Amino acid sequence: MSRHPLAGLLAAALLVSFAGAASAQTTLRMNVTVPQNSHYGVAVDAFAKEIEKNTQGRYKIQNFYSGALGAERESIEAVQLGTLDMVMTSTGPVPNFVPEVAILDIPFLFTSYAHARAVLDGPIGQEMLTKFDSKGLKALAWGENGFRHMTNSKHAVNSPDDLKGLKLRTMENPVHIMAYKGFGLIPTPMAITEVFTALQQHTVDGQENPLTVIQAQKFDQVQKYLSLTGHVYSPAVILMSKGQWEKLSAADQKAFLDAAKVAVKANRDRIDADEKTGVAYLRSKGMEVIENVDRSKFQAVLKPVFAELGKKFGEANIEKIRNFK
């Protein structure tokens, strides 16, 4: 005997409403190349929490850590193609996509964290974020990687002379590579996901990264000497696929931009905390730390490189950043 036709209609309506509820949530995948317990990990976790709250659960961010979905360059390419939704990345490989950003990677350009953050949060940095739009990328905010320092397994580095002939892993960044050649180093571009093994197997002698990354990646296990050269300030950026961005309503776009600000605060707070405790922590792990590095000597060696970079980016543009208040 068949059921009452009304019962069938009600069941069908319920199924449709459940299907609608299930499809109402959009999950976006976001990748970082460092562990969850890191300056990027806390940022993307804060971002995910904020997005879910601000969109009433309509959007969910699924975070992947330690390069689970690829290294930085691959991740940016995937976001550009739309096969990955989001990434938080250092600017290491970014100039390969947005050449104008390379100016930020000039050695000794920034004097302090306060100076760097003021530039990125101010008109110079905000105007630079718009350069990503024409490349199939939406840049939501500048985050931070930090001031970079050198580590190696061979000997203590007190002056530029100590760098000569050292094989150093560098980011896939043309400005860094030019500068490190100027130091007399043998730069070896490599994705961060490969670095620990390369150091362990002595494929390279050393690497350079902020304290927060050295700790998160446990480089103290494979490196003996740390020199606080602070030779480059390394920004980070939160990128979204242009296609996904354009699907958002104006209100949701604002929610994503607001969430990116919360992520950046978490990112910078973690870096500030790691900067305070990093040296003592790495010493406790057996690293020999050279704190009083004469940076003026390192800058003097790079004079020919600075001249080249001045031609490339324009001295006025460099000075605008260097003297920003």
Alpha helices in the chain (DSSP H): 5-24, 39-54, 72-81, 113-121, 123-129, 174-182, 195-200, 211-216, 242-247, 250-284, 295-301, 303-313, 315-322
Instruction: State how far the Cα of 313 lies from the Cα of 280, in Å rounded to an integer.
Output: 38
Q: Measuring CA to CA, which residue among 245, 270, 268 is closest to residue 257?
A: 245
Per-residue pLDDT tens digits for 186-241:
999 999 999 999 999 999 999 999 999 999 999 999 999 999 999 999 999 999 99
Distance of CA 185 to CAs 47, 177, 228, Å? 38, 9, 17
**pLDDT for the residue numbered 2:** 44
State the chain's mean pLDDT as an integer: 93
Fold of 21-322: D-Maltodextrin-Binding Protein; domain 2 (3.40.190)
**Dihedral in degrees, nearest 10, Cα atoms 239, 241, 245, 246:** 150
Instruction: State how far the Cα of 102 lies from the Cα of 117, in Å rounded to an integer.
Output: 17
Instruction: State how far the Cα of 90 lies from the Cα of 73, in Å rounded to an integer.
Output: 10
Instruction: State how far the Cα of 60 lies from the Cα of 28, in Å rounded to an integer.
Output: 6
Are 195 and 92 spatial neighbours (Cβ–Cβ below 8 Å)? no
What's the whole-model pTM score? 0.89
> What 8-state DSSP symbol labels residue 154?
S
* Mean pLDDT, residues 178-185 taken together: 95
**pLDDT for the residue numbered 24:** 75
Whether pLDDT at 3 is above 60: no
Which tokens hold the place of 273? 């905390």
Which tokens hold the place of 251? 């209100």
Whether pLDDT at 20 is above 50: no
* Mean pLDDT, residues 183-188 taken together: 96
Residue 90: Cβ within 10 Å count:
26
Per-residue pLDDT tens digits for 25-41:
999 999 999 999 999 99
Per-residue pLDDT tens digits for 299-313:
999 999 999 999 999
Mean pLDDT is lowest, of 23-37, 44-58, 249-263, 278-292, for 23-37
Report percent pLDDT > 70 for the chain: 93
Instruction: State how far the Cα of 295 lies from the Cα of 297, in Å rounded to an integer.
Output: 5
**pLDDT for the residue numbered 172:** 87
* Mean pLDDT, residues 291-302 taken together: 94
Mean pLDDT is lowest, of 22-31, 147-156, 158-167, 257-266, for 22-31
Instruction: State how far the Cα of 100 lies from the Cα of 96, in Å rounded to an integer.
Output: 10
**pLDDT for the residue numbered 8:** 53
The pLDDT-based confidence of 68 (bands split at 50, 70, 90) is: very high
